[in-house]
């Protein structure tokens, strides 16, 4: 256990690491956004091409005034069609994007795990090796943020172990925390590292927000 002043100094030492972690997370989020937009554009173009085929069935050269409008639209959509590669190439592009997106999300989970690890270290540095029971601290999803930080970190350390997801074998505190998050609407996926969802529910969108939360816990009183 350490004093408030010593713990604040410890947080200051961790500040640079937290800033770097969140900076990389922001870069990964932008990458996912860009990939998602690319996938959406492909889907929109597919819908446009489908519309062409539908209209080809509906309209004919004898469809009076609609024919001119149809031909103009066909010309515009044909230009869109040229932007899409052949079917095998399109499928390859989509699969590559999905693979990159999944890899990006996994790397983000690792970064989010490191954020939770620092949060748990701050609590341990201040209050000792046992999870503290603190008065008047912020609550999220019907539980203390201390619970989410502490057990969230434990989850990220053991999520790959099969027994971690077996309620009869897993440490009940981790299971209870995850179940409460899920009940409150947080998307917890079994068999995955849910660190991203956990720091999201903590509303830690930046290093400054995480540090502000941790400093408020440092000065909290034990029950």
Give 183-206 pLDDT, tens digit per residue. Answer: 999 999 888 899 999 999 999 999
Q: Determine the pLDDT at residue 141.
A: 87
Contacts of 82 by beta carbon, 8 Å cutoff, 6+ apart: none
How far does Cα 204 stand from its chain's mean position?
Answer: 12
First to last CA, the chain: 16
* pLDDT value at 168 more than 60: yes
Q: What is the DSSP letter of 220?
A: P
User: Tokens 């469809």 — which residue?
Assistant: 63
Q: Determine the pLDDT at residue 32.
A: 65
Residue 104 lies in a domain: yes
**What percent of the chain clears pLDDT 90, i.e. is strictly above it?**
48
- At residue 139, φ and ψ (nearest 5 deg) are -115, 145
* The Cα angle at residue 33 between residues 32 and 35, in degrees rounded to 5: 65
* pLDDT value at 15 more than 60: yes
Q: Which two tokens stand for residue 41?
A: 């554009």
* pLDDT value at 23 more than 80: yes
Residue 60 lies in a domain: yes
Structural domain that includes position 209: 4-218
Q: Determine the pLDDT at residue 155.
A: 93
Q: Which two tokens stand for residue 32?
A: 């996912």
**Prediction pTM value:** 0.72
DSSP string, 96-157: HHHHHHHHHHHHHHHHHHHHHHHHHHHHHHHH-SSPP-BSS--EETTEEHHHHHHHHHHHHH
Q: Determine the pLDDT at residue 29.
A: 72
d(C-alpha 28, C-alpha 91), whole Å: 24
Q: What is the DSSP letter of 222?
A: B
* pLDDT value at 53 more than 90: no
- In total, how many domains does the chain have? 1
* pLDDT value at 78 more than 80: no
Q: Determine the pLDDT at residue 37.
A: 73
Q: Determine the pLDDT at residue 25.
A: 85
Residue 223 lies in a domain: no
Residue 151 lies in a domain: yes
User: Tokens 């034990």 — which residue?
Assistant: 222
Q: Which residue has better confidence, 5 or 164?
A: 5
Q: Which residue has better confidence, 16 or 37?
A: 16
Q: Which residue has better confidence, 173 or 79?
A: 173
Q: What is the pLDDT of residues 144-159, one digit of tens each?
A: 999 999 999 999 988 8
Q: What is the pLDDT of residues 92-147, one digit of tens each?
A: 665 566 566 666 678 888 889 999 999 999 999 999 999 999 999 999 988 999 99
d(C-alpha 113, C-alpha 4), whole Å: 25
């Amino acid at each position: 256990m350490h004093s408030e002043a010593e713990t604040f100094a410890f947080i200051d030492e961790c500040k640079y690491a937290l800033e770097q972690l969140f900076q990389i997370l922001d870069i990964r989020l932008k990458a996912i956004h860009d990939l998602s937009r690319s996938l959406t554009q492909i889907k929109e173009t597919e819908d446009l091409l489908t519309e062409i085929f539908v209209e080809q069935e509906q309209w004919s050269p004898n469809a009076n005034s609609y024919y001119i409008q149809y031909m103009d639209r066909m010309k515009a959509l044909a230009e869109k069609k040229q932007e899409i590669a052949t079917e095998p190439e399109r499928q390859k592009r989509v699969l590559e994007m999905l693979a990159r997106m999944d890899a990006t999300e996994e790397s983000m989970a690792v970064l989010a795990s490191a954020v939770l690890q620092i949060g748990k270290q701050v609590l341990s540095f201040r209050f000792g090796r046992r999870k503290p029971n603190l008065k008047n601290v912020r609550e999220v999803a019907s539980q203390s943020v201390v619970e989410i930080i502490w057990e969230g970190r434990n989850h990220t350390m053991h999520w790959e172990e099969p027994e971690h997801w077996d309620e009869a074998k897993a440490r009940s505190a981790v299971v209870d925390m995850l179940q409460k998050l899920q009940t409150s609407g947080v998307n917890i996926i079994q068999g995955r590292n849910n660190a991203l969802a956990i720091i999201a529910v903590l509303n830690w969108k930046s290093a400054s927000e995480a540090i502000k939360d941790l400093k408020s816990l440092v000065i909290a009183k034990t029950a």
